[in-house]
Amino acid sequence: MKSPSTAPAPNARALARRMYRARMSEEKRKETNRRRSERRRQQQKKQLLEATFNLLVDSLLEESVETVLQGEQHQGTTLSISSLDSEQICLCKDHENFSFLVTAISKYLPGCDTTEDFLEIVTCDINDIKCMAGHCLDCNEPIVDILYLLISPDNINRKVKYKQLQEAHIELLVLHENTVGQLISIASEKASAGYKFHHYTNKVQQIAFENNRANSSVFEVFLHIDYASRYADEVTIFTAIVYAGENHLLLTLIADDATEDYCSTITFLKAVIKELKEKFPTVMEIKIVSADGNASHFKSKSNLGNLVYYQQDYEINTISWDFFALYHGKGEIDFVGNSIKNYVKEKADLQNVIIDSAEKFYTYAKDHEDISVIYVKREELVEDCEVLKARTFSFPNIEGLENLHHFEVVCGTTPYDMQLKCWPTSKCEEDFEIVIDYTLYEYDVLEESTNNKSVISAD
Ligand SMILES: [Zn+2]
Ligand SMILES: [Zn+2]
C-alpha cells in the first residue's frame, strides 16, 4: 500500500535555515550580486568566447572544411572570427548561421551590424518574452515588410555571398549567393520561425548562469554537471563543479559502462550531493545547471519530475534546474573531465598498463590533487534504477519540454503533495509558467550511497 511520507524537519535544518535567511538578506544579496556579476561578466564572456571558438575551429580544422562556391569546390576555408562579436550570447549553429546572414545584409541595412540590431529593428522589445515568443500582435507584422522600407531599392537585387554551417554537418561551411532581397526574406523567416525565441532564452539563461555562480554561497550552491566522453569506451565519466562563493569543489564520478540515461544521472547526482553536503553542511539550496541538448542525459520528464523527491532524498530546502546553451560554461566542465583522463593516461602509460575497467581507472585517478574522484558501483546503479523506474513510471508528460529551460520545486498543501514549476527561462515569467502536480510515496526512497550511512527502510 502507498502511504504518504512524513515531513522531514530536524532541528539542525531549521537552525541552518534561520542562519541562511539572516545571512542572505535581500538587500545584501542584491548588492553583492551587482558587484560580483559586473566583475565576472567580462571575464566569463571572454572565457566563453575563447573556449567555444576553439572548439569550433578545432572541429573545422580536423574535418577539412569544404567550401562550395557557385558550383565549384575549394578546400581549406578558415572560419572568420568576426562573427563571434561580444553581442553574441550563444555559439550554436543557429546563432552562427543567423550571424552570417546579418553580416551579409548589414552593409545594405543601416544600423544593423549585429544580430541584436536586426532583432531590435523587427521587434518592439527584445527583452519582452511576449515579443520574442511570437505572442505580440505588433511584432507579428510581416518582418520582411519592415526591412524592405529600410533598404535602398537599388540594392534589393544586388547579389551578396554569405556563409552557412550545414544542417547535418556542422563542420561543413558552405558559401551561398543570393540577392539582398532574398537574404532579408530568409533572415525574417528564420527570426519568426523560432530564432527570436532561441536568442531570448539563451540571453536570459546566460545572465542567470553568471548571476547564480556569482551569488553562490555555502548555503546556496551552484552545481554544474555534465557527462565527459567515455574513456576507452568502457568507463563512464560524470563530472561536476560545485560553486559555493569563493569555494569550489571539482568532482569526477566513475562507473563501468553506465547507460547514461536519467537513472544513471540521478545516481551520480546522489553521490555528488552527498559529497557537497559533507563539504558544505550548511547547504539548503541547490541550483543545478546543465547543457541543453541531450534529452536522454538530463532533459526528460523522469529526470526533471524526480526533482520533487530531492527534499525527501537529500533534506535540502529548495532545488532548481537550469538548462543553458550547449556550449555555455563548457570550457570549465570539460576541463575537469579532460584533466582526469590525461592524469590517468599519463600514469598508466608510464607503467605500461592498459585501463580497461572503471575500477582500474579509479585506482589511477583517485589521487588527483584538485579533483575528488568517486567510484560508483554497478549494483548501486541497478538498485537505484529499480526505485527510479517505479517512482517515475506515472510521472506526467511535461508539454513543450524542449522550449523550457528553468524548473523549480514547490511544496504543495501537504508534505506529500509537490509541484514542479517550469518556465522557458529563469526569469520565471508568470504568463509562461507551467505547473505540474506530483504525489510522493514513502517506499520510493533512494538509499544513501555508502554502506556506513543510515538506510531508510521501506514498508
Ligand atoms: Zn544559439
Ligand atoms: Zn512586440
Query: How far does CA 104 lie from the centroid of its chain?
Result: 30
Q: Separation of 131 CA from ligand 2 center, angstroms? A: 4
- Ligand minimally distant from the alpha carbon of residue 136: 2
Output the pLDDT for position 255. Answer: 95
- All three cell numbers of 212: 547564480
Q: Separation of 122 CA from ligand 2 center, angstroms? A: 9
Output the pLDDT for position 293. Answer: 74
Contact 200, 120 (CB under 8 A): no
Q: Is the pLDDT of residue 12 over 90?
A: no
Q: Separation of 132 CA from ligand 2 center, angstroms? A: 7
Instruction: Select from 193, 218, 55, 200 the least CA-distant residue to 115.
Output: 200
**Dihedral class, residue 202 (left if φ above 0, else alpha if ψ from -120 to 50, else beta):** alpha
Q: Separation of 83 CA from ligand 1 center, angstroms? A: 13
Instruction: Select from 406, 441, 408, 443 the least CA-distant residue to 426.
Output: 406
369-382 mean pLDDT: 93
For 440-452, how does the pLDDT look when each residue is reduced to its tens digit (9 = 90+)? 886 667 777 653 3
Worst-scoring range by mean pLDDT, 107-111, 164-168, 208-212?
A: 164-168
Output the pLDDT for position 170. Answer: 63
Output the pLDDT for position 76. Answer: 27
Output the pLDDT for position 182. Answer: 92
Output the pLDDT for position 345. Answer: 96
Q: Separation of 421 CA from ligand 1 center, angstroms? A: 24
Q: Separation of 86 CA from ligand 1 center, angstroms? A: 14
Task: Identify the top-confidence range among 59-73, 129-143, 153-167.
Answer: 153-167
Q: Is the pLDDT of residue 409 over 90?
A: yes
Q: Separation of 196 CA from ligand 1 center, angstroms? A: 10
Strands (E), 77-158: none
- All three cell numbers of 448: 544513501
- All three cell numbers of 356: 580497461
Confidence bin at 350 (pLDDT 50/70/90): very high
Please give the Cα distance from 307 to 436 (Å, whole number): 12
Please give the Cα distance from 31 to 266 (Å, whole number): 35
- Ligand minimally distant from the alpha carbon of residue 201: 1
- Ligand minimally distant from the alpha carbon of residue 198: 1
Q: Separation of 99 CA from ligand 2 center, angstroms? A: 22
209-215 mean pLDDT: 92
| Residues with Cβ–ion distance below 5 A, ligand 1 | 90, 92, 94-95
Q: Is the pLDDT of residue 68 over 70?
A: no
Contact 227, 239 (CB under 8 A): yes
Output the pLDDT for position 37. Answer: 54
Contact 227, 291 (CB under 8 A): no
Output the pLDDT for position 137. Answer: 85
pTM: 0.76
Does 309 or 78 have the greater pLDDT score?
309
Instruction: For the chain, give the percent of residues with pLDDT over 90.
Output: 52
Please give the Cα distance from 294 to 291 (Å, whole number): 8
Instruction: Select from 423, 409, 406 the least CA-distant residue to 290.
Output: 406
- All three cell numbers of 207: 545572465
Measured between alpha carbons, how far is residue 261 from residues 219, 236, 299, 306 in Å? 29, 12, 10, 13
Q: Separation of 139 CA from ligand 2 center, angstroms? A: 4
Output the pLDDT for position 72. Answer: 32
Question: What is the overall mean pLDDT for the chain?
Answer: 80
Confidence bin at 43 (pLDDT 50/70/90): low
